């Protein structure tokens, strides 16, 4: 069995692909393709967590109660057993697809990536790493929504903090990290500009018949710019209140965050050198593929909405606090949906 390790970066349709693969797990098995169901949910977050240790543990590990080295060691053993069990049950499969955006956002060192290889190498004939890349300014705009969803303040300071020395945005370093561990020949880069649908590309690459499967739904996690301004107001109130991201995701989106073209070009310019370096040494990337579609950036953006002063931020925070308490009480009485 061959493994495909899909590293989804922001705004490349990763969530949509994961939902589709997860919902069609049984049908995929009939085509000899495994999409594991026991690696931490739809997005296989256990894979990225496996590479982290006590001093680099993220919020998902803390939520799982992993606070000591012994607990983390037990988690590692459990993850190994989970994956081995599922692969053994589908031993005749051609491919196993593992997909996690956290492989992009959480992993920073060669040691962390090596631990992923050490987990997977004994279980597969070979491993391919697929990295789906989108222009950095597009990634930053998408990350702004993601940060806002979890209570982060988004404004000019957020975009000024997008730097070329960060491995999250520096694709030359990011790809090089995985090349160094898995080998250049086992890493494939896909430019979103030319290949917007990873799922369509993957189907052709591994011989997956999509016609027999339900049409994949596009998942959009962007927030309305006015909702992001609301989150900013809560942060600015200083009362440490948050609206649950599941509530934010239900709110309508009529106006997305848009940068003006001058500012967008300033951000993307920071990555010209590193992008050029990556493209020059890869035969699967070409000049221009990591440049945005500049036509979508207007002369005047709407980031000013994020910086508008909210005179009732304190009252808004108190209102959110009240309803958070109401929800908490209701959850205690009925912890299960429909209960």
3-class DSSP string for 137-156: HHHHHHHHHHHHHCCCCCCH
| Whether pLDDT at 218 is above 90 | no
Model confidence at 146: pLDDT above 60: yes
Alpha helices in the chain (DSSP H): 14-23, 25-29, 45-50, 59-63, 69-89, 102-105, 110-120, 136-149, 156-160, 171-182, 198-206, 225-237, 245-248, 261-269, 272-281, 304-307, 313-333
Q: Is residue 234 part of a domain?
A: yes
Q: How confident is the model over 297-311, as a mean pLDDT?
A: 96
**Residue 96 and residue 23 in one domain:** yes
pLDDT of residue 214: 84
Residue 186 resides in a domain: no
Look at 75-89, 195-209, 213-227, 232-246 and tell me which has the smallest mean pLDDT: 213-227
pLDDT band at 243 (very low <50, low <70, confident <90, very high): very high
Residue 187 lies in a domain: no
Name the DSSP class of 224.
B
Q: Which pLDDT does position 219 carry in this prediction?
A: 67
Q: Say whether both 104 and 15 belong to one domain.
A: yes
Question: Stretch 97-117: mean pLDDT, rounded?
Answer: 95
Is 246 inside any structural domain? Answer: yes
Rounded to the nearest integer, the mean pLDDT of the chain is 93
Q: Do 1 and 87 form a contact (C-beta atoms < 8 A)?
A: yes
CA neighbours closer than 13 Å in the CB half-sphere of residue 303: 22
Q: What is the CB-side half-sphere exposure of residue 42 using CA atoms within 13 A?
A: 11
At 307 the pLDDT is 94
Residue matched to tokens 């967590």:
49
Q: Which of 156, 174, 206 is the last residue of a domain?
A: 206
Number of domains into which the chain is organized: 2
Rounded CA separation 62/54 (Å): 10
Least confident of 163-177, 184-198, 204-218: 204-218
Q: What is the mean pLDDT of residues 223-237?
A: 96
Lowest mean pLDDT among 111-115, 136-140, 332-336: 332-336
The answer to whether residue 160 is domain-embedded is no
Q: What is the pLDDT of residue 338?
A: 46
Q: Is the pLDDT of residue 32 over 50?
A: yes
pLDDT surpassing 70 at residue 217: no
Residues 122, 237 within the same domain: no
Which element (helix H / strand E) includes 128? strand 126-133
Q: Are residues 35 and 103 in the same domain?
A: yes
Do 260 and 312 fall into the same domain?
yes
**120 pLDDT higher than 90:** yes
Is the pLDDT reported for residue 147 higher than 90?
yes
Among residues 150, 172, 206, which one ends one of the domains?
206
Tell me the DSSP string of 253-308: -SSB----HHHHHHHHHTTHHHHHHHHHH-TT--TTTTS--GGGS-SS-STHHHH-
The CATH number linked to 198 is 3.40.50
On whether both 229 and 91 belong to a single domain, the answer is no
Q: Indicate the SS3 state at residue 95.
A: strand
127 CB-near residues (< 8 Å, 6+ apart): 2, 3, 4, 5, 117, 120, 121, 182, 186
Instruction: Judge if 123 and 39 occupy the same domain.
Output: yes
Expressed as residue numbers, the domain containing 10 is 2-134+192-206
- Residue 306, classified by CB atoms within 10 Å of its CB into exposed (0-12), middle (13-18) or buried (19+), is buried
Please tell me the predicted confidence (pLDDT) of residue 335.
Answer: 60
Q: Does residue 2 have a pLDDT over 80?
A: yes
200 and 289: one domain? no
- Beta bridge mates, 33: 95
**What would the pLDDT profile of 170-180 be if each residue is shown by its tens digit?**
999 999 999 99
Longest dimension (CA), the chain: 63
10 with 128, same domain? yes
Per-residue pLDDT, averaged over 189-201, amounts to 95
Helix orientation angle between 171-182 and 272-281, rounded to the nearest 10 degrees: 30
**Confidence tier at 220 by pLDDT (50, 70, 90):** low
Do 256 and 202 share a structural domain?
no
When pLDDT is averaged across residues 218-222 and rounded to a whole number, the result is: 72
Return phi, psi of residue 2, to 5°.
-100, 145
The answer to which of 64-68, 106-110, 329-333 has the lowest mean pLDDT is: 329-333
> Which pLDDT score, from 0 to 100, does residue 261 have?
97
Residue 287 falls within a domain, yes or no?
yes
Query: Which of 212-226, 267-281, 305-319 comes out lowest in average pLDDT?
Result: 212-226
Lowest mean per-residue pLDDT among 153-157, 275-279, 333-337:
333-337
**Distance set, CA 254 to CA 227, 239, 242, 310 (Å):** 10, 28, 22, 20
Domain boundary residue among 206, 236, 270? 206
| Same-domain check for residues 127 and 246 | no
The mean pLDDT value for 317-332 works out to 90
Partners of 129 in the β-ladder: 5, 187
What mean pLDDT is predicted for residues 198-218? 88
The answer as to whether 179 is a domain residue is: no
Q: Tell me what the mean pLDDT of segment 273-291 comes to.
A: 97
Same structural domain, 196 and 252: no
Q: For residue 321, is it within any domain?
A: yes
> Which pair of tokens denotes residue 209?
């018949």
Share of the chain above pLDDT 90, in %: 83
């Amino acid at each position: 069995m061959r493994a495909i390790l899909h590293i989804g970066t922001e705004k490349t349709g990763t969530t949509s692909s994961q939902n589709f693969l997860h919902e069609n797990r049984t049908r995929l098995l009939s085509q000899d393709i495994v999409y594991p169901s026991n690696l931490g949910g739809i997005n296989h977050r256990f894979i990225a967590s496996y590479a982290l240790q006590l001093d680099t543990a993220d919020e998902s590990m803390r939520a799982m109660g992993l606070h000591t080295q012994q607990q983390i060691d037990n988690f590692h053993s459990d993850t190994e057993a989970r994956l081995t069990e599922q692969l053994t049950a589908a031993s005749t499969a051609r491919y196993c697809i593992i997909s996690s955006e956290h492989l992009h956002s959480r992993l920073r060192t060669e040691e962390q990536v090596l631990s992923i290889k050490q987990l997977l190498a004994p279980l597969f004939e070979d491993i391919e790493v697929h990295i789906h890349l989108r222009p950095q300014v597009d990634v930053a705009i998408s990350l702004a929504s993601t940060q806002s969803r979890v209570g982060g303040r988004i404004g000019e300071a957020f975009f000024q903090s997008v730097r070329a020395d960060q491995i999250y945005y520096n694709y030359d370093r990011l790809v090089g990290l995985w090349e160094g561990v898995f080998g250049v020949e086992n890493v494939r880069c896909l430019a979103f500009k030319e290949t917007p649908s990873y799922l369509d590309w993957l189907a052709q690459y591994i011989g997956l018949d999509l016609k027999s499967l339900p049409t994949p739904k596009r998942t959009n996690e962007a927030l309305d710019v006015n909702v992001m301004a609301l989150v900013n107001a809560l942060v600015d109130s200083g009362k440490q209140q948050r609206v649950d991201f599941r509530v934010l995701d239900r709110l309508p989106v009529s106006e997305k965050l848009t940068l003006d073209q001058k500012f967008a070009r300033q951000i993307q310019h920071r990555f010209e050198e590193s992008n050029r370096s990556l493209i020059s040494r890869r035969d699967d990337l070409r000049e221009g593929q990591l440049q945005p579609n500049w036509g979508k950036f207007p002369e005047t953006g709407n980031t000013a909405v994020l910086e508008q002063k909210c005179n009732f931020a304190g009252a808004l925070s108190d209102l959110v606090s009240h309803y958070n308490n109401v929800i908490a009480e209701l959850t205690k009485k009925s912890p299960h949906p429909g209960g």
